[in-house]
Amino acid sequence: MRIGHGYDVHRFCEGDHVMLGGVRIEHAEGLAAHSDGDVVLHALCDALLGAIGAGDIGRHFPDDDPAWAGADSRDLLRRVVTQVQAAGFILGNADLTVVAQAPRLAAHIGTMVERIAADCGVDPGAVNVKATTTEGLGFCGRREGIAAHAVVLLLPAGP
Ligand code: MG
- pLDDT tens column, 58-86: 999 988 899 888 899 999 999 999 999 99
Q: What is the pLDDT of residue 73?
A: 96
CA-CA-CA-CA torsion for 15, 103, 77, 149, nearest 10 degrees? 130
- Distance from the alpha carbon of residue 36 to the mean position of ligand 1, in angstroms: 9
Q: In this predicted model, what pLDDT tens digit does every residue of 132-141 receive, in sequence order?
A: 999 999 999 9
* 9-36 tens-digit pLDDT: 999 999 999 999 999 999 999 999 999 9
* pLDDT for res 112: 98
Cα 51 to averaged position of ligand 1 atoms, centre (Å): 18
Residues in contact with 117: Cβ distance below 8 Å, sequence separation at least 6, in sequence order: 123, 124, 126, 127
Percent of the chain exceeding pLDDT 90 equals: 92
Closest CA to 34 of 72, 69, 60: 69
Radius of gyration for the chain, computed over Cα atoms and rounded to the nearest angstrom: 15
CA of 158 to the centre of ligand 1 (A): 32
What separation in Å is there between the alpha carbon of 19 and the centre of ligand 1?
A: 11
- Confidence (pLDDT) at 10: 97
Confirm if 16 and 26 have CB atoms less than 8 A apart.
yes
Residue 16: alpha-carbon gap to chain centroid: 20
What pTM, to 2 d.p., does this model score? Answer: 0.97
Please check the confidence at residue 142 and state whether its pLDDT lies above 90: yes
pLDDT value for 125: 98
The CA 48 to ligand 1 mean position distance, Å, reads 14
Rounded Cα gap, residues 144 and 134, in angstroms? 12
Between the CA of 135 and the centroid of ligand 1 the distance, in Å, is 23
Q: Is 15 left (phi over 0), alpha (psi -120 to 50) or beta?
A: left
Neighbours of 139 (CB within 10 A): 16
Confidence grade of residue 159 (pLDDT, cut at 50, 70, 90): confident
**2 Cβ neighbours under 8 A, 6+ residues apart:** 51, 52, 89, 153, 154
Nearest to 61 by CA among 116, 69, 53: 69
